Structure 1
Amino acid sequence: MRRLEPSASAVIVVDVQEKLAAAMPAPQMDALTRAATLLIEAARRLGAHVLATEQYPAGLGRTVAPLAEKLAQAGAPVIPKMEFSACDALEFERAFGERAPRTAIVVGMEAHVCVFQTVRELAARGVAVHVPLDGVASRRDDHRLAGLDLCRAAGATITTAETVVFDWLKVAGTDDFKHLSKLIR
């Protein structure tokens, strides 16, 4: 396993939308929001690419406000889609292909549907995929756990948001470390 390099990484935020979020267990939603916020901010500071998707936004709403704000600050495109796998959406393919990252860090919902299908496709294409277990949610915990198992079986590394950020940072004591460690506490 190679060290994660921000310049060769993309954070992909999958379908963290208003109506879906309302159906998620509160502890999962809190953890997902914290993990995604940390990863988006770390990506912005350290130079990783950030992309987000919205599944059928006319029906499921837009990205939840706290993450929408962070995505805007990071200059991340938010791509509407109807496909379950983001990789099947042409606009996502274009945006992802612009930087052709070697590594994808995938967070979002639901773990057993859109997250899993996106992870499976990215891994099949040779992208090293990391799925922070604190960054995914499903309406039911057994579905979330099945989604994580499916992601692992597809070739993803199951990790945590903090593990990704500290791998990107490499060393303590820098201004980036000081800023990001405040988000971790």
Structure 2
Amino acid sequence: MIGSLNQETTALFVVDIQTSFLKSVVQIDEIIINNKCLIESFFELKIPILMSQHNKKKFGEIVEPLRYCERLSSSPLSIIKVFDKTTYSMYTEELGQYIQENLPYLKSIILTGLESHVCVLQTALNLLEKGYEVHVLNDAVASVNSKELKSSLKRMKQSGVFLTSTESIIYQILLNDNHPNFKKIEEFNAQRLFQLNNITFFLPYLSSSGNPPEKSIPVCISQLPRPSEMVGYTF
């Protein structure tokens, strides 16, 4: 098992990126930007995207930038599916049945989301038990503190999870720049990098006093301009 990927036998699982975590999870803004890029890229590649939300009444809905992506599921392609859950693991009986009926060819799962030491970890272990190859993106998962993130990534690696990153996984699937979707995926990735490098410019949540505010993220990330639209801006 070396962790190679085939576009035809791969799916993206996004775990519980919900509104209640916006003020508590470390680097939540980067996590949302990376996941948005992944969802847009995988939608373009027609790779199935399964998303979960845990106890929606308590923890809220999927954050708005990713709900924007979720609304792509109204497309005739309809490759995005959202599952409600109350167990920590995303791999519920409902999800297992869905895979059996709709994705019987599935071999590799790219796993992202929150929190890495609880729901992501338990989802990864369940998927490994079911015989899937699991790839966790270390820049697209997070926890309430960096120690939990570090220990959970180590724990998953010990169990056989492949650890990688958003950009690495995108290019691993593309294989080369002759891929028919290469230019569009490059555009998504360029937008991601631009947003990550200019978060403080685009997310004006600093207090008037200049002191760091309570950790939060506005709902307008999905509206961030692309690099080509930034002519005339200074930093």
Query: Which bracket does the TM-score occupy, shorter chain normalised?
Result: over 0.9
The equivalent of 1:157 in structure 2 is 162
Higher Rg: 2
Letter in 2 for 1:32: I
In the alignment, is the contact (CA less than 8 A) between 1:133 and 1:158 conserved in 2?
yes
In the alignment, is the contact (CA less than 8 A) between 2:3 and 2:162 conserved in 1?
no
1:171 to 169, 173, 176: 176
Which moved further from structure 2: 68-77 or 9-18? 68-77
Q: What CA distance in whole angstroms lies between the structure 1 residues aligned with 2:15 and 2:34?
A: 13
Shift of 1:175: 4.9
The equivalent of 1:30 in structure 2 is 29
The equivalent of 2:118 in structure 1 is 113
The equivalent of 2:10 in structure 1 is 9
The equivalent of 2:217 in structure 1 is none
In the alignment, is the contact (CA less than 8 A) between 2:40 and 2:188 conserved in 1?
no
- When normalised by structure 2's length, the TM-score is 0.73
Gaps of 5+ in 1: none
Q: What CA distance in whole angstroms lies between the structure 2 residues aligned with 1:6 and 1:92?
A: 20
The equivalent of 1:142 in structure 2 is 147
Gaps of 5+ in 2: 191-235
Shift of 1:146: 1.2
Q: How does 1:17-96 map to 2 (within 5 A)?
A: 17-25=18-26, 28-74=27-73, 75=78, 76-87=80-91, 89-96=92-99
Q: What CA distance in whole angstroms lies between the structure 2 residues aligned with 1:151 and 1:38?
A: 24
Q: Do residues 126 (structure 1) and 113 (structure 2) align?
A: no
In the alignment, is the contact (CA less than 8 A) between 1:42 and 1:180 conserved in 2?
yes
The equivalent of 2:224 in structure 1 is none
Which moved further from structure 2: 107-116 or 3-12? 3-12
In the alignment, is the contact (CA less than 8 A) between 1:119 and 1:154 conserved in 2?
no
Shift of 1:40: 1.2
Structure with more helix by fraction: 1
Which moved further from structure 2: 93-102 or 112-121? 93-102
Shift of 1:2: 4.7
Q: What CA distance in whole angstroms lies between the structure 2 residues aligned with 1:2 and 1:148?
A: 16
